[in-house]
Amino acid sequence: MSIRFEESRRVFSLETENTLYQMRADETGVLVHLFYGRKTDTDMSYLVRGGDRGFSGNPYEMRGHRNYSLDQLPQEYSCRGAGDYRISAFETVAENGSRTSELRYRGYEVIRGGAAPAGLPHVRPDKDTETLAIKLEDTALNLEVTLCYTVFPEHDAIVRRTSIANKGDRKVFLEKAASACVDFLYGDYEMMHFHGRHCMERLPERLKVPRGVLTSGSRRGMSSHQNNPFVILCDRHTTERSGECCGFMLVYSGNHLEEFEKDQYGSTRVVCGIHPDGFSWQLLPGESFDTPEAILSCSSEGFNGLSYNYHRLIMDRVIPEYFRTADRPILINSWEAAYFNFDAEKIVKLAESAGELGIDMLVLDDGWFGKRDSDNSGLGDWFVNEKKLGCSMKELAERVNEKGLKFGLWFEPEMISEDSELFKAHPDWVLCDPDRKPVMSRNQMVLDMSRPEVVDYLTDCMCGILESANIEYIKWDFNRSVANVYSATCPPERQGEVGHRFMLGTYELLRRLRERFPALLIEGCSGGGGRFDAGMLFYCPQIWCSDDTDPIERLEIQRGTSYGYPVSAMGSHVSASPNHQTGRRTPFSTRSVVAQTGTFGYELDPASLSDREREEIREQLADCHRFHYMLRDGSYYRLGELDECGEYNAWMIVAPDKRMALVNLVVTHVRGNPAFPYLRLEGLDPEARYQLAGIRRDGVNIDPINAGPATSVVFTGAALMHGGISLPLMYGDYPSVQMYFTRVS
């Protein structure tokens, strides 16, 4: 049993393989948080103590007990206005204007098989999964708030969400409804978040949690390039290899907020959920509201241990089941090879040169529809521009298939151009404030996905194209932030719902496509990595990691992404040199080493390459097929600490049975008279013996015996993990090395 309830003390214990999450309904009915961390097999109530604190008020029923105050109690779901002055998880406005909420325990049930939030992506349960549903009540508002905790023991994960139901006869406005709230009684913590910008996403940053409030979030209508909906609370001594840390990941792709507060007595509170700015949900009698899920996980084995938990859970329970064991095609994308300047002949020639090298799929990017010869027009007109192509989409797909390649297509469904036929017919289908001109970005506007007729239109258009030709992949783009969040169909009192209803509409469109085309590979994209989150991964098993394809930039982007998301979900391609975003020149081999740690592909024209480079592509493809199952099913480890990556970046992947391991290193700053790089490996069997079976330096295979890493090429796993291994010195511009180990005993 992963869920236990001790009735005499009303203590709930949620257990995974290595962790314990514990709470207690106290004598007043407040649901008190007791503990979240490494398993203890103990009632942790003894940690919670009261004291007479100045100006910390007492609930009415405890007015004679000055040592009892919500202002110092650790709570499972904190409310505004009832004496807890820290950040709140729940904020309401009653019909009479009252802004106070008070929640008290009313009971619980254990649900077998889980309970998914309505219309939202979620962590998929199975028949044996258990969910604890704790019911709280605000008697003045007649609200029933259900806190749901779904336990995934083998993944060391607990998934939280909240459901709010109006049981009364008056409407209530929800102004904040967080997915999770967790209090840590004491500790000197740091917060790690993943910030960035377009073409430089998910850069890890550690900040000391101050006395006060520290936040990370997005108001951009998407999870954003700027702040990912995944954060970590960690001990200040935590490293990649050791130490305590807890992760909080929203299964959501819209506006989000993660808050950290260290209070006056040293307790730290973490709250995460939909961003309350601009959010207001009118809950009429009989209606209910479900928050997105939040995935919580704790590790006492450092950041690599926490990443391992998230990677396994996302692969096993989040991405569509069809793609969990399916090989991903190695594709070539037409964008950097052709941009908008193409016709069918050019695309077929690209397919022919790619097919000769063994590439699996060609993806036709932007520019094939409507009046779309630049990024200033045509969005919304999802009909094939046969005049530009010179043929139908069916004919083009058939010609690409004849060259031995699968065929894929680019879409940007949620956007619309001002000059489109769709806008002329339905100008009210855009998000736009009355009597204002809209904010423009890339000369495009945003469709109102909260309207069912918009979702129906896009369903008909996209399904019609997908059924007209043999299209096995789509790239789903979203190339601007959302502004002017106003829907022409919502009454004034419900405009605060539009942002969330927009996401529900997007998820509904994705759900319909997944249901209709279960084998269709959808790659998420939002100007690259602007919607890289667990919500999109529920529908899209891979996401284009960043529009920046420079491998040296990608080292940072992919490393940061790996803290929460598996490498098999990262779209990563070899692009041309000099790079189109930075102008940097890098070796072909280094570009491949970086791109191989992801869903591998190419973003260039093979016909423009030298014979040697084309031969390197064949070697790269052979490596990808050789190591593909390790990338999909194996364990990924970052080698070295974040602050040690000034001269090189290193990582490794270990096969599920620990019989093979692939170690990668790229030198980012070559120095004169350098020191030897030493790496401590991770994830091996310490009792086993491993042979250094191969070294590839700058794309050239080297005899391990003559490479000079050691006097022997056979090591124990313990030696490689605790003593490490030295790598050969490397010179030139951004050199790289790969080392391949196999278990011999």
Question: How far from the centroid of its chain's Cα atoms is residue 640's Cα?
Answer: 23
| 45-74 per-position pLDDT tens digit | 999 998 888 889 999 999 989 999 999 999
Give the separation between CA 401 and CA 352, rounded to whole angstroms: 10
Question: In total, how many domains does the chain have?
Answer: 3
Which one, of 477, 486, 586, 484, lies nearest residue 532 by Cα? Answer: 477
Give the separation between CA 536 and CA 18, rounded to whole angstroms: 28
pLDDT, averaged across the chain: 95
Give the separation between CA 67 and CA 334, rounded to whole angstroms: 67
Task: Check pLDDT > 80 for residue 709.
Answer: no
Give the separation between CA 593 and CA 600, rounded to whole angstroms: 10
Give the separation between CA 470 and CA 391, rounded to whole angstroms: 15
Would residue 615 count as lying in a domain? no
What's the pLDDT band for 711 if we cut at 50, 70, 90? very low
- Structure-model confidence comparison of residues 703 and 363, the more confident one: 363
Residue 651, domain CATH: 2.60.40.1180
Rg (CA), the chain: 27
Query: Do 346 and 291 fall within a single domain?
Result: no
| 606-650 per-position pLDDT tens digit | 989 999 999 999 999 999 998 888 989 999 999 988 776 678 999
| Separation of first and last alpha carbons in the chain | 37
Would residue 700 count as lying in a domain? yes
Would residue 560 count as lying in a domain? no
Query: Do 73 and 139 fall within a single domain?
Result: yes
Domain stops at, among 317, 341, 364: 317
Query: Do 253 and 359 fall within a single domain?
Result: no
Backbone φ and ψ for 617, nearest 5 degrees, come out as -60, -45
Query: For the chain, what percent of residues have pLDDT higher than 70?
Result: 98
Residue 265: partners with Cβ closer than 8 Å, 6 or more residues away: 53, 72
What's the pLDDT band for 676 if we cut at 50, 70, 90? confident
Query: Do 244 and 328 fall within a single domain?
Result: no
Residue 35, domain CATH: 2.70.98.60
Give the separation between CA 418 and CA 439, rounded to whole angstroms: 12
Residue 167: partners with Cβ closer than 8 Å, 6 or more residues away: 142, 143, 144, 285
| 444-490 per-position pLDDT tens digit | 999 999 999 999 999 999 999 999 999 999 999 999 999 999 999 99
- Tell me if residue 240 is catalytic: no
Would residue 151 count as lying in a domain? yes
What's the pLDDT band for 698 if we cut at 50, 70, 90? confident
- Tell me if residue 41 is catalytic: no
Query: Considering 613, 619, 633, 685, which one is annotated as catalytic?
Result: 613
Query: Do 423 and 365 fall within a single domain?
Result: yes
pLDDT of residue 644: 67
Residue 499, domain CATH: 3.20.20.70
Query: Do 304 and 333 fall within a single domain?
Result: no
Task: Check pLDDT > 80 for residue 202.
Answer: yes
Would residue 585 count as lying in a domain? no
Query: Do 651 and 528 fall within a single domain?
Result: no
Query: For the chain, what percent of residues have pLDDT higher than 90?
Result: 90
CA trace torsion 663, 666, 671, 674 (10° rounding): 0
Give the separation between CA 209 and CA 186, rounded to whole angstroms: 12
| 14-46 per-position pLDDT tens digit | 999 999 999 999 999 999 999 999 999 999 999
Query: Do 124 and 271 fall within a single domain?
Result: yes
Domain stops at, among 286, 317, 348: 317
Would residue 160 count as lying in a domain? yes
pLDDT of residue 386: 97
The secondary element (H helix, E strand) that includes residue 295 is strand 294-299
Other CB atoms within 10 Å distance of the CB of residue 273: 30
Would residue 521 count as lying in a domain? yes
Query: Do 353 and 301 fall within a single domain?
Result: no
Q: Residue 131 burial by CB count (10 A; 0-12/13-18/19+): exposed, middle or buried?
A: buried
| 532-578 per-position pLDDT tens digit | 999 999 999 999 999 999 999 999 999 999 999 999 999 999 999 99
Q: Domain limits at 437? A: 321-544
| 261-281 per-position pLDDT tens digit | 999 999 999 999 999 999 999
Query: Do 536 and 645 fall within a single domain?
Result: no
Query: Considering 201, 533, 547, 623, which one is annotated as catalytic?
Result: 533
β pairing state of 294-299 and 245-250: antiparallel
Would residue 534 count as lying in a domain? yes
| 64-109 per-position pLDDT tens digit | 899 999 999 999 999 999 999 999 999 999 999 999 999 999 999 9
Helices (H), 314-451: 335-338, 344-357, 386-389, 393-402, 421-425
Query: Do 536 and 659 fall within a single domain?
Result: no
Query: Do 268 and 339 fall within a single domain?
Result: no
Tell me the DSSP string of 665-690.
Answer: EEESS--SSPPPPEE---S--TTSEE
Domain stops at, among 266, 290, 317: 317
